[in-house]
Amino acid sequence: MKLFVGLGNPGSKYAGNRHNVGFMAVERIAAHQGFGPWRNRFHGLAADGVLDGEKVLLLKPQTYYNEAGQSVGEAVRFLKLGVGELVVFHDEIDLAPGKLRVKTGGGHAGNNGLRSIISHLSADFARVRIGVGHPGDKDKVAGYVLRDFPRADAPWLETMLDGIAAASARLASGDTERFQTDVAQRLSDLAKSDKDSETRQAPEGPPRRPSGKPSAGGKRPASSGAAKAKAGPPSQQALARKSARGPQPKSKPVRPASAPDPGTSGKEDGEEAPTPTALADRLKRWLAGRGSES
């Protein structure tokens, strides 16, 4: 038989305190593992059940935290248990919130509940140390552990308590290493889930800007080819007007003022095709000559 003891203070006033996480642990085991109802026994509340074939008694001392040894000592002696069958769940300020460790034996490290149990029995029992963090100043420890867990701690606290309850059979069989591993795995899965959630909620990068400069209306200007294609072929009337005008001379290139006009450059025929202007000048001179002969 095993005796699982949770440390805490009785009454609803203390129910949510960090100091009562031991009570929370054994209550979660009872709820998840189908233990019997809580009854007044050994100056505390006790519930019994079976974990993996091992009979287990859960105990919540009602003597207040600092006098837990009175209740625990009475239960151990009545049930004729060895100290090796005792497991105590308690808050641990020397562990960060969300951390859990199991150890057997050792001192009380200033924990008055452990101090009381050791004084009634011995130090050779197993302890499930549930990290709640340290306030940073030893003078603030009492007020810190007697305050409720903040809402921000609810995810890891609920996950840890569920992990403790689910793995409690390993603790009953003495496999403390597997017990720790199972609880740690649940907490690791929670951390991974939180990280994935943050990644999904992260804002996307700025939208990519188009390579071309948009027009004032926000649309790209259509290319000349596209505009022509959209305009369609010329009408029959436009083709008739173009035919009546005849071939149009190419526009005369703009030259610097110092450059001579190609039409008056004085080059001989064959060297360069005369321009319409040069031809007109020659025709005027020829007509003038004909007039003088008559």
In this prediction, residue 264 has a pLDDT band, given cuts at 50, 70 and 90, of: very low
Count of residues for the chain?
A: 294
Q: What separation in angstroms does the CA of 198 have from each of 121, 191, 193, 202? A: 49, 11, 9, 6
- Look at the chain and report how many structural domains it folds into: 1
What is the rounded distance in angstroms from the CA atom of residue 233 to the CA atom of residue 283?
Answer: 41
| Beta-bridge partners for 56 | 2, 49
> Is the confidence at residue 9, as pLDDT, over 60?
yes
Q: What is the pTM of this model?
A: 0.68
* 8 Å CB contact between 16 and 86: no
pLDDT in tens, 77-118: 999 999 999 999 999 999 999 999 999 999 999 999 999 999
Q: What whole-number distance in Å separates Cα of residue 88 and Cα of residue 4?
A: 6
Q: What is the pLDDT of residue 220?
A: 53
Does residue 129 lie in a domain region? Answer: yes
- 131 occurs within a structural domain: yes
The catalytic residues are 19
Residue 170 lies inside a defined structural domain of this protein: yes
| Domain range for 92 | 2-197
Do 8 and 62 touch, CB atoms closer than 8 A?
no
Sheet of strand 100-104, all strands in order from the earlier edge strand to the far edge? 39-41, 44-51, 54-61, 2-6, 86-92, 126-131, 100-104
Give residue for tokens 């526009």.
251
Q: In sequence order, what are the residues at sequence separation of 6 or more whose Cβ sits closer than 8 angstroms to the Cβ of residue 277?
A: 261, 263, 264
Query: pLDDT tens digit string along 16-56?
Result: 999 999 999 999 999 999 999 999 999 999 999 999 999 99
CATH of the domain at 180: 3.40.50.1470
Span 243-268, average pLDDT: 50
Is residue 243 predicted with pLDDT exceeding 70? no
Tell me, yes or no, whether 285 lies in a domain.
no
